[in-house]
Structure 1
Amino acid sequence: MRSMSANMGLCRAKQAVVRLDNEMPEPVSICRGDRQGCVMSPDLFSYYSEVILREADGCRGGGSANIFLDGAPLKTVRSFVSLGSKLSADGRLHEDICNRMSHAKSAFFKRKSLLCNPKLDLGMRFRLWRCYVLPILLYGCESWTTLETGRRKMAALEMWFLRRMLRIKWTDKVSNEEVMVRAGGQRYLLNSIVKRQVHFFGLLMRKQD
């Protein structure tokens, strides 16, 4: 702990210089963070993480953590969004998947004039759908635990997309099998999730070797 305090003291006195056209201007003091590529950054990150976890240990069982940011105490919440993913206190992915589905529907409505335009070729609309909508939905799906409930929701969401792109109303009483025949393919969402998860698992296994 003393060595980490000493390292933090060294970091407080750091300065940086930005080279411009082979000229070296006056150095600037680093007031927050650390310079890029510093070998001490991982140790400092681990140190701060350990301090935060020790402070947050008191919030177990519904208590409040004694953590302050800019003089204001941080509240204990049930869920929050980080890097586009919704994290919940129980560690489950249900809220994150629902959040992704909501964002994907919003992206679909923003481009509805193209995705539901009958003047455009259906294959072109499918490519636009896979380009502009699916990346929002499938972000981080490599870490999802696809339970039966999640698979049913993904299958229903895919039908929701296809029926609007094919301009099929719910009053037309068209079955899901007929929708897939008109779309000219198999289930795309579930297959994409499985392929990404298998690919990610392969990368992890090769990295261990």
Structure 2
Amino acid sequence: MGFDLVSRVRLYKVLERIGCSPKQFDGSPSTPSETNRGVKQGCVQASNLFGIYFAAMLRHAFGGFREVCGDFRLNISLKKTNIMGINTQHPPNIHISNYQLEAVNEFTYLGSVVTNDLSLDTEIDRTGSASATFAELAKRVWENTKLTLTTKILVYKVSILSTLLYGCATWNLYSRQKKRLNIYNLRNQWKMLKIKWYDHITNNEALQQTSIPSIYTLLCQQCLRWLGHVCRMEDGRIPKDLLHGELNQGSRPRG
């Protein structure tokens, strides 16, 4: 769902309802001033303010979504709005104001790829972008004799591993997918260490030289870190309820 405009007047009213005071920090009311510009592109406050505004709108969305957006002065960008059906034989057909929304098989949300079959094969295909970054840094970093191995490892963790494993805390991978990621990681480390096949150095020895855990270990660490974060949440939070939730009836398949 894409939006082109948010009403500032209604945004200020929503902020007042949740307890944001219109006063300054010294306690005295501020002088009214006309606002002609919003937050800049990429500003942290932009996502926070829109999240608050959108959450308030959803509370009133008991009727038509289009009408509620109109009441909150939210202009829906129909060209930016796509729909996707999960495990459906026929794509959904939804119209808004005589405009048919485009049905897609996958879309990118916050850097993660969501597909209509919920497969992670497309998600881990980001090895292509990681490989492009690795190749761009070949002469500057990996083949640079003036840089120490410690510096190269730090660059590898920041530029390659962070891209490769982004969002992996919520992944549910198959063994073949983990193996694919692990092979890619080992191949890159062999290139950093300039190891050839005839050097007779095992993968474990290469990991010891770089002090980088295997992909299996990194995935496990990220999952455990996320589970610990969810368990520390207050009761009633949706992620915690989903983690400890059980089916009222029927049975859930294994895996």
Matching residue of 2:113:
86
Superposition deviation, residue 64 in structure 1: 4.3
C-alpha separation in 1, matches of 2:179 and 2:8: 56
Give the TM-score normalised by structure 2: 0.58
- Cα separation, partners in 2 of 1:93 and 1:114, compared to 1, 3 Å: same
- Cα separation, partners in 2 of 1:206 and 1:46, compared to 1, 3 Å: farther
Overall identity of the aligned pairs, in %: 19
Note if 1:187 corresponds to 2:195. no
Superposition deviation, residue 145 in structure 1: 0.8
Q: Could you tell me which amino acid in structure 1 is paired with residue 59 of structure 2?
A: D
Higher relative contact order (CA 8 A, sep 6+): 2
Note if 1:43 corresponds to 2:69. no
Matching residue of 1:6:
none
Cα distance per residue 1:33-54 (max 9 Å; x no partner) = xx654572342578749x9xxx
RMSD over aligned Cα atoms: 3.9
Higher helix share: 1
Q: Could you tell me which amino acid in structure 1 is paired with residue 108 of structure 2?
A: V
Structure 2: unaligned runs, 5 residues or longer: 1-5, 13-21, 25-29, 39-48, 69-82, 236-255
SS at match of 2:122: helix
Cα distance per residue 1:60-94 (max 9 Å; x no partner) = 421442245x9753332222222211111111212
Q: Could you tell me which amino acid in structure 2 is paired with residue 23 of structure 1?
A: T
C-alpha separation in 1, matches of 2:200 and 2:98: 59
SS at match of 1:81: strand
Cα distance per residue 1:16-37 (max 9 Å; x no partner) = 67999x4322477x9xxxx654
Matching residue of 2:129:
103
C-alpha separation in 1, matches of 2:120 and 2:95: 26
Matching residue of 2:185:
158
Q: Which of 132, 149, 167 pairs up with 1:140?
A: 167
Aligned residues: 185
Cα distance per residue 1:122-173 (max 9 Å; x no partner) = 1221111112221111111100113211210121011121122112345767
**8 Å Cα contact 2:113/2:122 also seen in 1:** yes
Note if 1:130 corresponds to 2:138. no
Structure 1: unaligned runs, 5 residues or longer: 1-10
